[in-house]
Chain A
Amino acid sequence: MKLISISRLTIAAFVICASVSLVCASETLRIGAINPYSGPLALYGDEVARGYEIAIDEANAKGGVVGRKIELVRGDASSPPQGIAAVEKMAGQDDVEVFVGTYISAVSNAASDAALRYSRVYWDTNALAGDLTERGLPNFIRSGPYANSFAEISATATRDLLAPALEKDIKSTKVWIEHEDSIFGTSIAELQKQLLEKMGAQVVGIGAHNYRAIDLTDSILRAKAAGPDVWIETGYVPDGSLLLRTMRDQGFKPAAIMMVATGDTYETFDALGSDFLQGITVVGYPRADQTEVYGPGSAAYLAAYKTKYNREPIAPQSMTAFVGMQMLLEAIAGAGGTDMEKLRATAAKMDKPSSSYATGFGVKFDEKFQNTRAFPTVVQWQAGKVVTVFPKSAAQPQVKLVNLPRQ
């Protein structure tokens, strides 16, 4: 009897393993990272993927997840059709079980839609457009901050950080909102306007520009004519640098300058120099210089990046990606695998307070699966370095604001 049972069991086990192996055909758990790895945003795509790699190395060192080693597969995509093709390749051919990404929102949109056809979860760590969660796609989960988060922090920081430094009340503060004209800048600017007006600030004007423009003097002159106290700009590095240079050339000196999403890296430093940058604030992805209390593990992340890539991280987006990957791996561990329904259910139950991760994020997804505990922070250029200044709990205790109002 026992022999027959054992052989039956063996056969059953074999059949089960065989059919299971048809589904997850390999020992390795493959995660597909869809990002632009070519084109003007290639650097950010690469930085984000580096963040993923570091999180994966960390997990693999501890035996992987659900007992399997993890492998990152990159899919280059700079436009929606390319995003679709990348998903088709990775889901249909490369045995990728779950997707992460994606530095361009339109790509994330199309790719996550395509991933749904394969019932694969699309765990977005970096795309900013509000639509991505608004559309209610059943496989889409966003672990990082999005346009709303950036707009909220910029409005709150204007009220709680800049206005007091200028010795003004928010209601008497004049704000000019400048933004680049693609979905990235436009969506953040729209929200900034709404929030600031709700706070009672005077939005004296909104300017849109093309990030590839050869000349932005008109944008600066228009802002100058409106005489704002605070000049807030959302854009990329080339246009941000050109705007700042033009401000310098045209002698436009608002009392406070706040850049959003870019402007906090050495790229801007090289372009403008430490004297000009002194006092400029940047609302950006959290940085590794935060306090360990606010962002536990940020110093460890910095060290890991330096060891693996022999230099400092260029764009802080990578740490947000790193944390996003950590969250995904935790969710997979909790769900026992990458099955879409189970992963989603596990994510819905995840609840960690703010300051649980290196970026200072916590995790709690709302009904649209947007992480409500992910926020950018505000840094300030001080003596050629960026220093976290807001929220107060993120800033090192000895940090003070400099050069506000701007001399």
Chain B
Amino acid sequence: METFLNILISGILLGGIYSLVSIGLNLIFGVVRIVNFAQGEFVMLAMYATYFCTMHLGINPYLAALLVASLMFVFGLAVQRAVLQPLQTEPMMQIFATFGLLILLENSMLAVTRGEAFSLSGAYSSVVINLFGLKASGVRVVVFIAATAIAAALMLFLQRTMPGKAIRAVIQDRQAARLMGINVERAYLLTFALGTALAGIAGALLAPIYTLSPYIGGNFILAAFAVVVLGGLGSVPGAYIGGLIVGLIESFSGYYVDPALKQAIWFVIFVAVLIIKPSGLMGQVGAEEVGLREQS
């Protein structure tokens, strides 16, 4: 029983990691409708930036998260403006461009660091929470709490604020939104920057957990896409729950089946869910179709 609970908790916390990484992507994918291959690299950049702030500037990593997020926001603005906006009418080329960006970012980091594996060291990264014999790593609990808080905050933003509502409108129907007077380009800009900033927070909070490498972004990206699509495009609660589901499936199949097959298993489940419900678990039915037809 204790093992089962341990796996359950581990799955939930892993889900928190997936959700945190996917939240930014969910926004970008839902609004701007591009397969942003470089999203994992944004997380990677944020991790290195956090490492730099923590180890070389002595800033507390959780404070560094705010700094890094702001920097990533600006970076996202730049990328959207310079690379994606000119390619708005060519979605295939956008994919291609983000792929080029992925290669560029990965290898620039490799050139700078030579590929040495960095880790954030510090007492806080080894904190273990112990409740009734069940153990959880402190930094992962922080990630889970952050994912939940951010998901809640984002939902409020999208529901209650004007820019948020504008973004939701663009998710539902680009053309109609434009007709309603919403500046779609500005919505894209804001969304992409926000999505990048969220990747920044994810990177900052994940940095204490992992060993940094220029290629670590690639470890997250496919899972992040799967979570976003599984949860439902444009649905923040969907991405959050999707992340938890993926985390739980991975955790349980890893323990009860075989750690070597867990990826294959949840990929298959992911494809199966999509086939049954293409709009994802909580996405608006047809949302993914309607936006797609509009290409200009």
Contact = CB atoms under 8 A, between A and B. Distances in A.
B218 to A, nearest CB: 7
Interface size band for A: 35 or more
A216 B223 CA distance: 15
A217 B17 CA distance: 13
Contact of A207 (B140, B215, B218, B259): B259
A250 B135 contact: yes
Nearest to B119: A271
A207 B262 CA distance: 13
A225 B6 CA distance: 12
B126 A46 contact: no
A239 to B, nearest CB: 9
Interface in A35-69: 38-43, 46
Given A207-B259, A250-B135, A270 B251 contact: no
Interface stretch (A125-133, A191-199, A241-249): A241-249
A402 to B, nearest CB: 20
A38 B110 contact: yes
The interface residues of chain A, by DSSP majority, are classed as: helix
B185 interface: no
A273 interface: yes
Interface in A376-402: none
Interface in A213-227: 213-219, 221-222, 225
B196 interface: no
A210 B263 CA distance: 9
Interface in B215-237: 215-216, 218-220, 223
Interface in A182-212: 207-210, 212
B289 interface: no
Interface residues of B, number: 43
A270 B119 contact: yes
Given A210-B259, A213-B259, A267-B117, 17 more contacts: A42-B110, A42-B114, A46-B114, A208-B258, A208-B259, A214-B14, A215-B247, A218-B250, A219-B259, A221-B7, A222-B259, A238-B216, A241-B210, A245-B126, A251-B128, A267-B211, A273-B121
10 contacts: A39-B215, A40-B115, A42-B115, A46-B115, A217-B7, A217-B10, A218-B250, A218-B262, A222-B259, A271-B121
Interface of A: 38-43, 46, 181, 207-210, 212-219, 221-222, 225, 237-238, 241-242, 245-246, 248-251, 267, 270-271, 273, 276, 314
Interface of B: 3, 6-7, 10, 14, 17-18, 107, 110, 114-119, 121, 125-126, 128, 135-137, 140, 209-211, 213, 215-216, 218-220, 223, 247, 250-251, 254-255, 258-260, 262-263
